[in-house]
Structure 1
Amino acid sequence: MATHVRVRHQNRIVEGVLDGESIRTEDGAALARAGTTLLPSAAPSKIVCVGRNYAAHAKELGNAVPSTPLLFFKPPSALIADGEDIVYPPQSKNVHYEGELAVIVGKRARNVPAAQALEIVRGYTICNDVTARDLQKADGQWTRAKGFDTFCPLGPVWIDPADLDLSGTRVRTFVNGELRQDGNTHDFIFTLPVLIEYITAAFTLEPGDVISTGTPEGVGPMQVGDTVAVSIDGIGTLTNRLVAP
C-alpha cells in the first residue's frame, strides 16, 4: 500500500510516497522527511462537505435525517496541515470537532453517474470539519460557522482508492486521548457514488477538489489547549491543537 504526502521542500511543493524516513517523488528523487514541511493533502479549488450523512449524528443535534444529500462549502483558506493549530475565533463560544473521511478528486468531473463515480477518485484522506456550533445556529446557514481560517485540517497523508474499503471503514475522533466519536462508513446515509452523482449534477469538480463525506455521532465542544486527533483505519491520524486567537 502506498502512502502519499504533499510537502514543501526548498520553496517547492512536491508530492511523493513515504518510504521510511524518505519521500520518493514522482521524478524518482528521494527527499529526507526531516527536510520537508508537511502540507494539507490537497490544494482544492473548493471543499464540498456533506451534512448529516450519518443518521445518528443528525438525531443527536435534533435534526431530521435528510432525504437528499445536504451540501455546503468550506473555503480553501480554511485548510491547515497535520500538526498545525486550529485557532478559536473570538466570535464563537462553542467550537466543535467533526472527524470525517475525505475524498480527493483526480479528474475533472461533471454529470458523473453513480456507476462510474469512483473512477474520478484520486485517493482518500482525513478531514476535521471544525464548526462554530453557536454561529451555525445563529446565522441560519453555515458559511461563517464552517469557514473560519484553520477550520479545515486535512491530512496527514492520502492513500490510493484500492487501499480503502468504503463498505466498512472505522472513523474515530479523540480529544486529549479520550474517544469521542466512533463511527463506520457502512453507516453512510448516502454512499460515495451517490454523493458524487448528486454533486456533479450541480457543478463541476476539478482535480484536487475535496469531498468531505460527513461526520458520525459524538460531536462536541473543544477548549483552548485541547488536542484533537481524527483516526481512520487504513489512512492514519490527523492531529491538531486548539489555540487562542
Structure 2
Amino acid sequence: MAFVKANLGGSIQSSVLEVDVDSFEIKSLNSNTALIQSIWNPPISGTVYGVLLNYQSSLEQMGEALTQDPYKLPPQAPILYIKPKNTFLGHRGEVPMPAEVDELEVGASIGVVIGEKATQLSVEEALDYVEGYTVVNDISIPHESVFRPAIKEKVRNGFCPTGPWIMEKKAVGNIDDKTIQVYVNGELKQQNTTKNLVRSVSQLLSDVTEFMTLYKGDVLLVGVPENCPKVTRNDHIRIEIESIGTLENTVK
C-alpha cells in the first residue's frame, strides 16, 4: 500500500488516497468517493521542465547530425524546455487536436515532483529533494529539429496530460529501473525502461540545479523514449509506469 496526492473535482487542495502499488486500486479516500469516477485535475501546480535526448537510443538516432550544423557537437548539458500551465490536462481529459495537423506524438515520461527548494544539488543528495513521481504525456506535433525550442509544436493547450496522482517517493523504489509502456486503443505501441536514461534521475537533478533553482511543486521530466507512438482524432492513450500510475486520455 502507498499514499498518493490527487486533485479531484473542483478542489484546489490535494486529496490523499491510499492505493495498491501493483494494481493501482484505490483503497481509501478522505473525500467524496464519487469523484473517483469523474473529474481528475492535474495533480501538479509548479513549472514543468522537459528534457530532450535523455534516452540513449534517442541520442543515437540523431547520429552524425549532432556533429554537423546547426548542432556542431552532441549536447554537453541537459537540453531543457518548458511546458506552461496552458498545456496542463488531467487524467481522462481530452487532448485538443489542432485542426491543421493529422497526428500527434505521445511523449511518455516520468515527472519528478520537487519537494523543497533545490539548488546545486550533489548526485548523492538529489533524491532527498524529491516529493514523489507522476505520469506525464509530453505531447507534441511531430517535428525533427531540436536546435531551437519547438514552442509551436509542444506548448499547445492540453499538450501536457499529467496524473492521475503524485505517488510518494518511498513507494516507487529505484526510479532508474522502471518500465514505461504506451498503449494506443488498447494495443501496446512502446515499451522502454529508465535503465536507458543518459543521465540518471539523480544525475539529471544535479546537472539542472547546478545552474538553476527548482522550487517545491516544480516538475522535471526525465525524458521521452525514442520512436514515440503517433495518434490521431478519437484515439485512446494509456501510459503505464511501473510503481507510479496509469494515465489515460483521448484525443478530441
The match for 1:88 is 97
Two-structure CA RMSD over aligned residues (Å): 2.2
Moved more, 232-241 or 7-16: 7-16
The match for 1:221 is 230
Letter in 2 for 1:238: L
Q: Quick one: distance in 1 between partners of 2:10 and 2:166?
A: 22
Moved more, 191-200 or 65-74: 65-74
CA separation of 1:59 and 1:242: change in aligned 2, threshold 3 A: farther
The match for 1:129 is 138
The match for 1:57 is 58
CA deviation map 1:11-64 (0-9, x unaligned): 5433312364642xxxxxx323214632212111x1111111112123446664
CA separation of 1:70 and 1:42: change in aligned 2, threshold 3 A: same
CA separation of 1:82 and 1:11: change in aligned 2, threshold 3 A: closer
Moved more, 193-202 or 33-42: 33-42
Matches within 5 A, 1:90-105: 90-105=99-114
Size of the aligned set, in residue pairs, is 235
2:165 aligns with one of 152, 157, 162: 157
CA separation of 1:41 and 1:9: change in aligned 2, threshold 3 A: closer
CA deviation map 1:162-197 (0-9, x unaligned): 222223110111111111111011111001111111
Contact kept? 2:9, 2:40, Cα under 8 Å:
no
Contact kept? 1:22, 1:32, Cα under 8 Å:
no
SS, match of residue 216 in structure 2: coil
CA separation of 1:113 and 1:11: change in aligned 2, threshold 3 A: closer
CA deviation map 1:67-93 (0-9, x unaligned): 432211111221111000111123434
Contact kept? 1:180, 1:218, Cα under 8 Å:
no
Q: Quick one: distance in 2 between partners of 1:61 and 1:222?
A: 23
State whether structure 2 residue 16 is matched by structure 1 residue 16: yes
Cα offset for 1:10? 6.1
Q: Give identity over the alignment, percent.
A: 24
The match for 2:82 is 73
Q: Which runs of 5+ in 1 are unaligned?
A: 24-29
Hey, which of these two has a bigger chunk of strand by percent? 1
Q: Which runs of 5+ in 2 are unaligned?
A: 20-25, 67-73
CA deviation map 1:185-220 (0-9, x unaligned): 111100111111121122211111101111122303
Cα offset for 1:5? 2.9
Off by >6 Å, runs of 4+ in structure 1: none
CA separation of 1:117 and 1:138: change in aligned 2, threshold 3 A: closer
Cα offset for 1:125? 0.9
State whether structure 2 residue 187 is matched by structure 1 residue 178: yes
Q: Quick one: distance in 2 between partners of 1:10 and 1:128?
A: 22
